[in-house]
Structure 1
């Protein structure tokens, strides 16, 4: 079976979604990168959280900041609240699903840190609780939300940044999330270290 036409159509759809999103997303991405840069400049740490596939995008952020994208530079302090399977199941069994991110965040984070909250669809309760916990700890929040992310957007406060992705399907939202997170990491690198090793 020849799948070329289906593959080509999917690629074309992705290209169109990206092109149509640039004007909407450029300013909030720039704002979010500035917030994240300032937190790092003031010895703060970045935490991230999201459910399901959003947890994978959360790990992409952390991996890119602790490791690097394109240039050699010092590691940056970033933590994925989705990565501790044992801790998540402990909270899940004792406290319930809404606390899987907020409980470790309350234990590990401090004033001046920042939470990246990701929501591409599904039940946002755990991510909303994490945002509320972040605010209780005196943290800023960068949210990457979607069309049905009103519950998450509604708990954001002045000073937070909201990158609202508009795409019909969750798979399309995840593609855009991936690009947004890579843009954030690249801008943070440029803000902190310039392009001193750019080829």
Structure 2
């Protein structure tokens, strides 16, 4: 079982290497341009994708590898009062879009993470971010889902297996953080 899991992981990462290098490079340019202009990065996802959003935000506001100044990375998944109030008053599908409306400014970057590419709360957040003039980056899997039409760049991990998609999302997140570190 262990060898099969490792080989499955290896097959997906090889597909990422073969087919997504250009998209990942474009995402690196997107996030570094936002940081260089003094804007912030907002991130959101559900479940494991929420954990990835929090992880990436922490790497920005804390540090990734290199000692540098703290950077504005905000996970929209961590404020339980906002999440529960918005879900109660507007519906769960609005928990991220309402926060984007409250926190985002033109030129900020919203990163939405969804293994299916169809999480309604993430889709609504992309719409809100676009209306506010934010840059938009998606991390998805399978066929990219509806996120393909709602973000400037949707990095679609070529797999239907949630675990493999999430493994690649955090790898891509770390590559983005490395690109940011390289600015300093």
- TM > 0.5: yes
Q: Pairwise mapping of residues 51-130 of structure 1 onto structure 2 (< 5 A)? A: 51-121=46-116, 123-130=118-125
Task: Number of aligned residue pairs: give it.
Answer: 184
- How far the C-alpha of 1:149 sits from its partner, in A, is 3.0
Q: Secondary structure at the match of 2:69?
A: coil
1:170 matched to which residue of 2? 162
1: CA distance, partners of 2:172 / 2:19: 12
In the alignment, is residue 35 of structure 1 matched against residue 27 of structure 2? no
2: CA distance, partners of 1:98 / 1:89: 12
TM-score (norm 2): 0.95
Gapped runs of 5+ residues in structure 1?
1-5, 194-199
2:179 matched to which residue of 1? 187
TM-score (norm 1): 0.88
In the alignment, is residue 13 of structure 1 matched against residue 15 of structure 2? no
1: CA distance, partners of 2:110 / 2:166: 19
Moved beyond 3 Å, runs of 4+: none
RMSD of equivalent CA atoms: 1.3
Relative to structure 1, the CA distance from residue 122 to residue 137 in structure 2 (aligned partners, 3 Å threshold; closer, same or farther) is closer
Gapped runs of 5+ residues in structure 2?
none
2: CA distance, partners of 1:34 / 1:153: 19
Contact kept in structure 1, 2:94 and 2:124, CA below 8 Å: yes
1:23 matched to which residue of 2? 18
Relative to structure 1, the CA distance from residue 148 to residue 84 in structure 2 (aligned partners, 3 Å threshold; closer, same or farther) is farther
